[in-house]
Structure 1
Amino acid sequence: MKNKTEKIQMNIGKKIFKGFRNITIFFITVILLISISGLIYERIGLYSDSKKYSVPGTIVKVNGHDMHVYSEGKGNSTVVFVSGFGTPSPYADFYPLYNEISKYTRTVVYERPGYGYSEVSNTSRDIDTITKEMHELLEKSGEKAPYILVGHSMGSLEIIRFTQRYKNEVKGIVMIDGGSPEFYANEEIDQNQISSMKLKSVLKNEGIIRLLFNYSKKFYNSTYSFRNQLSLVPLDLKNVDTAMYLKTITNKNKTAELVNLKSNAQIVMKNGNLGQIPLRILTSGEEAKDSKWKNSQEDFKSWSTDSKQKIVKGSPHYIHQYEPNVINNEIKKLIENQK
């Protein structure tokens, strides 16, 4: 009787174990299928976008990788637009500026590695490599100095370092809510932002972010809320921006830019100010509500003996998506100085 009871108990145990194993295998299989489906969905989306949105400008091989440059207009000077951190498509983002300025002179929008149509590169994202690649791209694509550099946000470091290295080629600078080297040199690396980028990488690769973009209007609108829904940009270019957001939302080049931000700022600070090169600083009225940012923008004027600062009241960080005329007017004044 005892042996029979033990056998019954053993059989029950085996059935429970087998049932638990089968349930575990089932859930693992479902998770794998969902994961594989997400990966396939994302790859199909990337392939579809690459066919739908052909390269609008020119692809140039620089330092072993492909970089995109888009040019319009003719003139005696060349206005070069430099994006800040994270802008998916500088080509689309700067439209409210180059669409107007190209009526007066040559305009160039270039995209750093990991942005827009440019490849993700294996090169360092230190400021000297970045500016060397920028200069090589301009030369290889046939763009001529003198340059008027227009930079947004963290693009300020790139512009200043470029000017330090190629001073005779730069005749004016316009900063669009660009941070001063001192401001960035005193900023600590935001580990939360880096962690967020790693999470976004997983969600991107699994197609989850694309799914949200395609089927959640709330998510889509929230993504563009800080850029005025790109309301000043034509629909076809906004679609390009969306495709580039889904393609480049996170990659190793963007992560490296954040990691190197402080050290890049310190390199810029070590190499001196800009002398008499005109420096026009346009500050976001919304960002200027932060006294630390406001004070740093005022101090930024010390980088040139010919500097002016203006607070664009009511405008958020992406001033060119809210008040492009303010920026365009400053650029036009610098163009007139070259005639």
Structure 2
Amino acid sequence: MRTFVKWLKRIGSAIIAVVAISLSIGFVFEWKSRNEAEKIKATGSFVKVANHRLHYYKTGSGGPTVVFETAFDPAGHLQWYNVQKELPTTFTSISYDRAGILWSERGDKPKSGEEIAADLHHVLEKANAPKPYIIVGHSFGGTLTRFFIDKYPKDVAGVIFVDSQCPDDKKYLSPELFKMTNQGLPSGLLKFANTFGIARLMFKNMFANEKQYEYQNSIMPALLYKSANAVLEEQDQMSSIKKQASKIKSFGSIPLYILTAADKKRYDSFIKDEKLKEEMLTSWNKMQNDFLLLSSDSKQILVPNSGHYINQEQPKVIRDAINHMVNKIASSK
């Protein structure tokens, strides 16, 4: 018995030693990787907002300006990078990194919907982006667009939701499904993983492992150590942001296109219970359909064979919607 206990202690000590060595190696690897990441040249340009700099990527020239707002996502403007590169250069497009994401500095402004809208407005003004704006928001980005439209309605000529999040989703979902879909990331675990180099391995192939996404797959993990804390901070404020956004119920007559993912299998890997999966499909479709009430000039576009990330799975649909909106605005002058 004593021999067995001794062996258990030795095995336990060996495991602890291996874990400690692995964490030490991971910490050093992370430190060196961060030093290397500091040398990476930014995709776009910077503007000064309050006491910090925000990074944006701009293509084309002339008006209107298509403005991209990213989802709850550490990839920032990279989610729109390929979409922008394929747009005509006869009008301007701008994507940006919210405070603390990728190359944007965090600053000390609170992570509220109003402040995020103000930050974006400063970026557009200082980048000399021609008005009016067409705001394109994906998922959580769709929720954030409400604050911008509410605060600067005269600057906005059109809105495109890309499988947008519904800020008052609690009204549509059962308590079980609401809890499942709003549980968020494990912040303590992610912070630990970020310190010891594990997080950059976890998010190594956030984009599809294809040639067209080589740039994104090299940049996003390298700068994840900067983005992680800001993303978790946005998660902490998510409930408050959604509550405030749900009070913004009308865009007036501003044209609104609602792009909705329509692949019925898009929740298969996320929800195993067939009853809950069917509820999620039905509820999401109801939320998307109800967005039509936000504007007196709105239409929904179903996107077959696409899951939530339409910008990666069916980017042409987004480009077509943007081009159509640009032409619609031009013809209305």
Q: TM-score range by the shorter chain?
A: 0.7 to 0.9
Give 1:304 deviation, angstroms: 0.5
Tell me the residue number matched to 1:334.
325
Q: Which has the larger radius of gyration?
A: 1
| Higher helix proportion | 1
Q: Per-residue displacement from partner, 1:195-230 (whole Å, max 9, x unpaired)?
A: x232021012112334x46xxxxx84xx43xx5x06
What is the aligned residue count?
304
Give 1:232 deviation, angstroms: 7.0
Cα 1:177–1:24 change in 2 (3 A) is closer
C-alpha distance in 1, partners of 2:72/2:209? 17
Tell me the residue number matched to 1:96.
82
The 8 Å contact of residues 133 and 155 in structure 2, kept in 1 or not, is answered as yes
- Does residue 157 (structure 1) correspond to residue 135 (structure 2)? The answer is no
Q: Work out which of the residue numbers 7, 18, 23 in structure 2 matches 1:35.
A: 23
C-alpha distance in 2, partners of 1:269/1:92? 27
Cα 1:266–1:25 change in 2 (3 A) is closer
TM-score (norm 1): 0.80
Q: Work out which of the residue numbers 131, 145, 148 in structure 1 matches 2:131.
A: 145
Q: Work out which of the residue numbers 119, 137, 141 in structure 1 matches 2:105.
A: 119
Tell me the residue number matched to 1:264.
241
Tell me the residue number matched to 1:74.
61
Paired AA for residue 270 in structure 1: K
User: After the TM superposition, which residues 210-229 of structure 1 pair with which residues of structure 2 at under 5 Å, given as runs?
Assistant: 210=200, 212=201, 220=204, 223-224=205-206, 227=207, 229=208
Paired AA for residue 285 in structure 1: A
Tell me the residue number matched to 1:308.
299
Cα 1:116–1:230 change in 2 (3 A) is farther
Q: Work out which of the residue numbers 166, 171, 181 in structure 1 matches 2:157.
A: 171
TM-score (norm 2): 0.81
Give 1:138 deviation, angstroms: 1.5
The 8 Å contact of residues 185 and 266 in structure 1, kept in 2 or not, is answered as no
Give 1:122 deviation, angstroms: 3.2
Tell me the residue number matched to 1:3.
none
C-alpha distance in 1, partners of 2:235/2:184? 9
Tell me the residue number matched to 1:250.
228
Cα 1:190–1:258 change in 2 (3 A) is farther
Give 1:185 deviation, angstroms: 7.6
Give 1:105 deviation, angstroms: 0.8
The 8 Å contact of residues 41 and 207 in structure 1, kept in 2 or not, is answered as yes
Paired AA for residue 242 in structure 1: P
The 8 Å contact of residues 102 and 227 in structure 2, kept in 1 or not, is answered as no
Tell me the residue number matched to 1:18.
none
Identity %: 28
Tell me the residue number matched to 1:299.
290
Structure 2 SS opposite 1:96:
helix
Give 1:29 deviation, angstroms: 7.4
Cα 1:143–1:204 change in 2 (3 A) is same
Give 1:272 deviation, angstroms: 3.8
C-alpha distance in 1, partners of 2:236/2:170? 12
Structure 2 SS opposite 1:101:
coil
Give 1:234 deviation, angstroms: 4.7
User: After the TM superposition, which residues 185-196 of structure 1 pair with which residues of structure 2 at under 5 Å, given as runs?
Assistant: 192-194=183-185, 196=186
